[in-house]
A = this chain, B = another copy of it.
Amino acid sequence: MAPWGERLAGVRGVLLDISGVLYDSGAGGGTAIAGSVEAVARLKGSRLKVRFCTNESQKSRAELVGQLRRLGFDISEGEVTAPAPAACQILKERGLRPYLLIHDGVRSEFDQIDTSNPNCVVIADAGESFSYQNMNNAFQVLMELENPVLMSLGKGRYYKETSGLMLDVGPYMKALEYACGIKAEVVGKPSPEFFKSALQAIGVEAHQAQ
């Protein structure tokens, strides 16, 4: 592997993941990963542009940032690219009114979105809210649409909590895809559009980012 100096030549910006990179989530707000608070501080003190890019979709950016600040991170809401606000922008642009199959913790991100008479479904890591009733509601909304739109905030298979492995949004996205014979639009990583929007926010081109 090339030495750091060489690898960073031409690099103008850095995208940082949050969960599992800056901190481990868990009871009581989680814990900072050793060295990460200092690493963020050094990056922000350097000539590099920094943007936080997360697939977190069980909580709002406000809540997430509050948690990180309590752990000692220098971070503000405006520095975070997350799937829920990205989805809201797409919904507005396309005049879509979603049925929301999401975790209550992230619902506030959709406060400005019209959810009456839904003409699409937005699915996120809903945890316990992935009941049969809620899944069936989402399914019925999709089946009644001429052009069903299913937007999925990420497509992760599972994640790890202190209590064990937990199903993420991906399996439920696949369930609705199969039930309706459609393909979901993924908002969040690994979608290239999502990374691009994070880079746009700091005015950096893809080839200048690390």
Restricting to A138-161, which residues have a CB under 8 Å from any CB of B? 139-140, 143, 157-158
Q: How far is the CB of A180 from chain B (nearest CB, A)?
A: 8
Closest to A143 in B: B165
**Does A206 sit at the interface, judged by CB under 8 A?**
no
Tell me whether A129 and B128 are in contact (CB under 8 A). Answer: no
Closest to A168 in B: B179
Query: Among the interface residues A158, A170, A180, which one has the most CB atoms of the partner chain B within 10 A?
Result: A158
Provide the main secondary structure of the chain A interface.
helix
Q: How far is the CB of A161 from chain B (nearest CB, A)?
A: 10
Number of A residues whose C-beta is below 8 Å from B? 31
Tell me whether B128 and A132 are in contact (CB under 8 A). Answer: yes
**Does A172 sit at the interface, judged by CB under 8 A?**
yes
Copies in the complex: 2
**Does A208 sit at the interface, judged by CB under 8 A?**
no
Tell me whether A171 and B167 are in contact (CB under 8 A). Answer: no
| A22 contacts across to B, CB distance below 8 A | none
Tell me, in angstroms, the Cα distance from A129 to B157 when the chains sit together: 21
Q: How far is the CB of A99 from chain B (nearest CB, A)?
A: 14
Tell me whether A178 and B157 are in contact (CB under 8 A). Answer: yes
| A143 contacts across to B, CB distance below 8 A | 158, 165
Given known contacts A157-B178, A157-B180, A170-B178, what 11 new A-B pairs fall within 8 Å (CB)?
A130-B131, A140-B164, A140-B165, A157-B179, A157-B181, A168-B179, A170-B179, A171-B174, A171-B175, A171-B179, A175-B175
What are 9 A-B residue pairs whose CB atoms fall within 8 Å in the complex?
A127-B132, A128-B132, A130-B132, A135-B171, A157-B178, A171-B174, A171-B175, A171-B176, A175-B175
